Each structure stands twice: as structure tokens, then as C-alpha cells.
Amino acid sequence: MPEAIVLTASRRLLRNLRDVMAAPGSAQQRLDKVVKLIASNLVAEVCSIYGLRAGEVLELFATEGLNPDAVHKTRLRVGEGLVGDIAAHARPLALSDAQAHPLFAYRPETGEEIYHSLMGVPILRSGKVIGVVVVQNRTRRHYTDEEVETLQTIAMVLAELVAGSGLVSSDELKQADGIGLLPLRLEGLCFNPGIAMGLAVMHQPRIAVNRLVAEDPAGELRRLREAVKGMHSALDDLLAADDLAHSGEHRDVLEAYRMIAEDRGWLRRIREAIRSGLTAEAAVQRVQEDMRARMGQVTDPYIRERLQDFEDVTNRVLQHLTGYQDTAARQELPEDVVLIARNMGPAELLDYDRRRLRALLLEEGAAHAHVAIVARALEIPVLGRLRGLLERVEANDLVIVDGDHAQVFVRPGEDVQQIFAQSFETRKQRQRAYARLRDLPAVTRDGVAVSLQLNAGLLMDVENLKESGADGIGLYRTEIPFMVRPHFPNLAEQTEFYRKALELAGDRTVVFRTLDVGGDKVLPYFPKSEDENPAMGWRAIRISLDRPAILRQQLRALLRAHGDRPLSVMFPMIAEVAEFDAARAIVDIELELARRQKRPVPRVLRVGAMLEVPALAWQMPALLSRVDFLSVGSNDLFQFLFASDRGNPRIAERYDVLSPAVLGFLRDVVSRCAAKQVPITVCGEMAGRPLEAMVLIGLGFRSLSMTSNSLGPVKEMVRSLDLADLRDYLAMLESSADHSLRGKLGTYARDHGVAI
């Protein structure tokens, strides 16, 4: 049959199917009419539709040609027989002698033994198999590729009827995909602890295609051309942007993305689907569904990455076709939101109403990604590396997030909900107890005072300062405001931001860390480093010294914001004293400039360094004669000390900060600072965990900086601690060769009534 005739018949069949589906009557009545229509138009003696039920079972829903008594009685497991094989692999099958195939499964109640040839395709919805449509003939018929394409197009239209018929409930559709009515439990990595419960909200909702059947295929092809042209134009504008115009890895990635957007095979398949009778958006979606289903089980990372690129390109085309280019942040949200995303930027997170935001779940992500840092500032649990998250969670699913144990329960049963409710109530009681400690001093039982301060990066963090009872801001991450802007903030913008932070802090000290970007913290408008090991590459103070104009502008803004108020500033990732001297010299240049311009200068200026690079610990005599204070950045320090990438889940927990090596290292550092009377603070995550904080205090640290939700637990620990006993115990442990001292230290705390 000529291709043009086949396409004309296909379009006529789709229009007839649309009319049947829109006609009055029950879902079963419409399905019965549909199978007759398909069989007639495809010149087949049999047409059967199987729907996927719970437990991965395919049930015969309707048939023309087989025994009607078999409807809703004949069942096949996914993978069983030819129909089951089509469902299992989400791929079409066309056989001239089906009964000779080794997978053929005979069901005597159907009366299909007289039919030899078979053609079947999966019915796909949201990339998931929800059924199979099959045609059969008595003769050994050879089905053409065009006929297979036609049946695939029919299956796409049928997906809406099968899914919306009520014959299979939405719960069963979920269970058919293996995600079930019972609690689905996912494990990932904890980026910020805590527990939460709410309804799943997809950050990028699936674009709904409401019009499937085309009235004017030529017009639909024109719409596709315009959409692809618009997408190409947008990508060209992106590539031509000033900050992306030069060569580099980012450019290579975008060029590769542009090539995918021009992939001829992909576009050819979409055009063929349009010619068969689908609208442009329905054709794009059909090709996307087919590719997603075929490649869903592929584990090769390169192929998975290419599949994701195709997904992104497809979504861009759909956005141009439908005009829908928004995220869920602009929609009406439930009271309790658990936000679901593959990845997202920090500015996107801040688009959401934080009063409703309960947790953030990422299929990918990293603990120190920008969005995770902002989420910690919002004090919401964050889990990442949740494999299969987007495929296995639907919008409005009930989700429980257990950040403390890095697990997620989707659609939990009553028992899990009760356990969560008890845990949540216990946590609320503890929070109330911590609130009662807010105005009490952080002093040990034997009278040693400890300063507890906040880590901050957003103005909302500073707003929590008074309510938290913290003594001040021990670490203000100035890079976060840079991350959530589409451009580099100018002098006036930076000055205003620092001024607001100081006003909110009142008379409490704020220690500003200069820009710490690079590595895994890339500004959207800043060239990405091509370092093979970004954590040890061109980042932090190295960028500031190589691009002194950036540092000078930031220091100038800090001086103007402070006026004559005391200023505390520190430099990140100092590896040698010479780097500190170079950075300090720039401070002096800006001070002199302010004086010449007759601007007020701080009456007290304190300049410090972050101890994050172990090499600096062997330059302490020279360093301590220059700095006004030191701050230990334990996150980077210990990944460098152990040569252990903290972003790698395979080794993230391999080394313990409560090991003899760490205790010995920290004791030496703090004793050297004490001898020279140089204040020292720990501002990494170690400071915010009660057991680790107990050890730090025992080693001699008297200043700790942490997130606001860690303040209560740490203060409770401090007030329950007798320091004299702890010092002696730590001295005894340092000569140990154990991998970790955590177990012994935990036992000590419990035996001595220390609240950890």
C-alpha cells in the first residue's frame, strides 16, 4: 500500500477514534467500539486491548475477533507470552507466524489458535507502560513499518482512554509501574537533616498535551518548524551571550546540546508521527514516550546523560509549541510542600513560598550545591541522589522525609504515618525545650563559657539571630547573594546588602568571608573552571588574587557598609602565608582609598583567615603573627586531610572526623592559637553536631559557629558537660590507633550525662 494512502487512512482512523472516545456511554462501551474500528481500518480479524493492573498483570479489556467471554478473565504476567514481552520491553512486535515464536503463550479461552500473524505495541503514558494493543490475522501476514507506526500512533490516543476510563484506577496505574500502594522507600544522601511530611510538588510539572488528533497535518508541520526554529534561536542567543562566547568546557557542552537539538533522526520521527495524524505536540510527546520507555532500563551513564539531553530538548520544543514555560512556583500550592526536582538553582528555590516549603528532594544534586546551601538556610530537610525519584513519585503523593536517616517514604501507610507523627511531636517537644535555653548562657557545669554563633548566607539567616540566642554571625558566606542573581552585583548592590545584614544583626558581631566561589560553586555568569579536581583548583582566594578587581570591589562595599563600625573579614582557602599577605595588602589599599575620599573607616578592623588547607597548619608561627583570628573550615579541611572527596557517596563516610588523627591535628592548632592569644572558631558542619562539638570544646575551642537549628542541641550539650573529666579522657584517646573514636566518645557522653 503506498505510504500516502497509509497516512491518509491513519489520519481518518484517528479522527474516527476521537469521535468514539468523545461519544456518550461507559468506558467499556467505548473500548468495545474502538477495537472494532481499529480491526476494520487495519484489515485485521482481531484487535485486542490489554490493560495493566496491580501486580504487573495484563488483563484483556476489550477484543474484536477473540472470544468475548475472555474479556476481564484472560490475564498474563508482564514478560509472559508475546503480549507480556511487548509490555516488559516497551517495544513493538510484528510477527508473520506468532505461534512459532518461543514466547507464544496459548490461552484456550480466547480462541486465538486460528490466528497466525500478530502485531502489537505498548500503550505508554508518562513514559510508563499501561497496556498493550494487538491486532492479529489468520494469514501469515507481513506487517509493514508504516503499519507498526500507525498502531503506535493509535496507542498514544488510546492511552488517554485507558488511563481515564476508570477500568484501572490511578492507584493501580502507579502500582503497575512498580511503585505500589504500600510505602515506597527511597534512599539517598542527606544534604540537610530533619523530618517533614507533605504533598509532592513537581518543580517542573509535565506539560499536558490536550489536543492529540490533527485536523491539518501540513499546519502541524509548520508549527513544528516554527517551534524548532524558536528553540534553535534561543540556544543561539545563549551561545552568543558575552559570558559564554569564549571557548571552554561550558561551550562544548552547549554546542553538543545544540547538535542534539538538530538531530535529524529525532526530528524525522516526529514529522512521521505528525503525518500519521497527530498534532505537533502529541507527536513530540509520542517520540519522547517511546524513547523514555525504550531506554528507561539503560544503566550506561553516557547513554543516560544523552537521554536526559533529549528529554530537555523535547521539553523545550513542547514549551515553544504550548507556550507553557513556568515551574510549579507560579501555581497554587498545598499547605505542606515537598518539592521534587532533578536539579535546580538557588534562585528557583527562593521563588517558592517558604512558609509552605517543608523539604526538598533531588534526583541528582550535591551536598554543597548552591540550592542545598540555600535550603539549609531555609532550615528544610534536603535529600539528594534519590535514584528514580522523578519516575516513581507523582504530583500530590503523600511524602515523608526522614533526613536524619537519608530516606523517603512515598505514599506511606498508616503505620509509617503514625511513627512519623510521634517523631515529629518528639522533635517539637525538644524544640520547645531548646527555646527555653535561648536566653541562658552556654556555660559548662564547671563554669567554662563557650561562644555559640551562626553560619549565615542570606538575610533570613540574620533575621533568626536574635530569636536563636546566638552571640553573633561567625561565618557570613558572601557568595550566596552572588549565586541567586543573574548578574555580578555591582558596588552599590553589594554595599546595600551588607548594610542590611549589619542592621539586622544590631550590636552582634558579623564575620564576613570574602567570595568563596569556584570548584563546585560556580556563579551562573562566571566562567566554569576546567580543573580536573575542582575542589583543589582555581577557587576562593585564588580567584580573588588573580582577579583583584573582584576582591577590591567587595572590600570597598564592606568598608562603605560598615562606616565607622567594627569590621571583621576573613579570607577563604588560604594555603600559605604569602597569600594572606597579598590579600591583606588589598585591604590596606582600600582603607587608604576610603581615607583619601574622606569616607568613614571602621574604628576596629579584624582580618582573619580560614584554616581549610592542611599546609597552613605548618606555617602557624608566621601566620599567627599576622592574623587577628582564625576560623577552621572543617568541611574542606578534613576532605583534604584524608584525600577524601566529600561529594563522592562511596567514600563520604569512609573517614571519621572523630578519629585520633583529627583530634591530634586540632589539639595542636588550638594550643598554638592559645599560646599566641589568637581567637579561633570552628565554623564547619562539625561544630553543629553535639558529640563533635563536645570533643571540640574538650580540645580547647571556645567558639563554635553553626546553623540555627543546631544551636539548641549544642547549647543543651554544653550546659550538661563537665569539662575537666573530658579533657583527661581525650588525652588518653589520642594515642589510639582506632579508625574512629565515635563509639567510645558516645559511650563517655552517655555515662557522664552529656546531652548528645
Active site residues: 370, 683
Q: By three-state DSSP, how is residue 489 classified?
A: coil
CB 95 within 8 A of CB 134: no
Determine how many CB atoms are found less than 10 A away from the CB of residue 208.
Answer: 10
Half-sphere exposure (Cβ direction) of 535: Cα atoms closer than 13 Å: 17
Question: Helix, strand, coil proportions of the chain in percent (round to 5)?
Answer: 50, 15, 35
226/322 Cα distance (integer angstroms): 12
5: part of which helix (H) or strand (E)? Answer: helix 3-22
Cα separations (Å) of 645 from 369, 640, 682? 14, 8, 20
30/23 Cα distance (integer angstroms): 8
**How is 616-683 classified by DSSP, letter by letter?**
GGGGHHHHHTT-SEEEE-HHHHHHHHTT--TT-TTTTTTS-SSSHHHHHHHHHHHHHHHHHT--EEE-
Determine how many CB atoms are found less than 10 A away from the CB of residue 311.
Answer: 16
89/482 Cα distance (integer angstroms): 47
322/348 Cα distance (integer angstroms): 22
169/151 Cα distance (integer angstroms): 25
Sole residue written with cell 510508563: 128
Q: Is 296 exposed, middle or buried (0-12, 13-18, 19+ CB in 10 A)?
A: middle
Cα separations (Å) of 630 from 604, 607, 624, 674? 17, 9, 9, 11
**How is 244-289 classified by DSSP, letter by letter?**
GSS-SHHHHHHHHHHHHHT-HHHHHHHHHHHHTTB-HHHHHHHHHH
Degrees to nearest 5, angle at CA 501 with 497 and 503? 115
372/358 Cα distance (integer angstroms): 14
Sole residue written with cell 508504516: 146
617/624 Cα distance (integer angstroms): 10
CB 294 within 8 A of CB 269: no
46: part of which helix (H) or strand (E)? Answer: strand 46-53
452/215 Cα distance (integer angstroms): 69
Q: Where are the alpha helices (DSSP H) in 452-528?
A: 459-463, 465-468, 479-483, 491-505
CB 159 within 8 A of CB 34: no
Determine how many CB atoms are found less than 10 A away from the CB of residue 684.
Answer: 23
**And the C-alpha cell for 458?**
542570606
651/644 Cα distance (integer angstroms): 7
Residues in contact with 246: Cβ distance below 8 Å, sequence separation at least 6, in sequence order: 527
**And the C-alpha cell for 495?**
554595599
Handedness of CA 308, 310, 311, 315 (dihedral sign): positive
Spell out the long-range contacts of 257-263 with Cβ–Cβ below 8 A and sequence spacing 24 or more: 257/309, 257/312, 257/313, 258/232, 260/306, 260/309, 260/310, 260/313, 261/228, 261/231, 261/232, 261/235, 261/313, 261/316, 262/232, 263/310
26/736 Cα distance (integer angstroms): 76
680/610 Cα distance (integer angstroms): 10
In the sheet that holds 57-64, the strands lie side by side as 75-77, 57-64, 46-53, 128-137, 117-125, 93-95
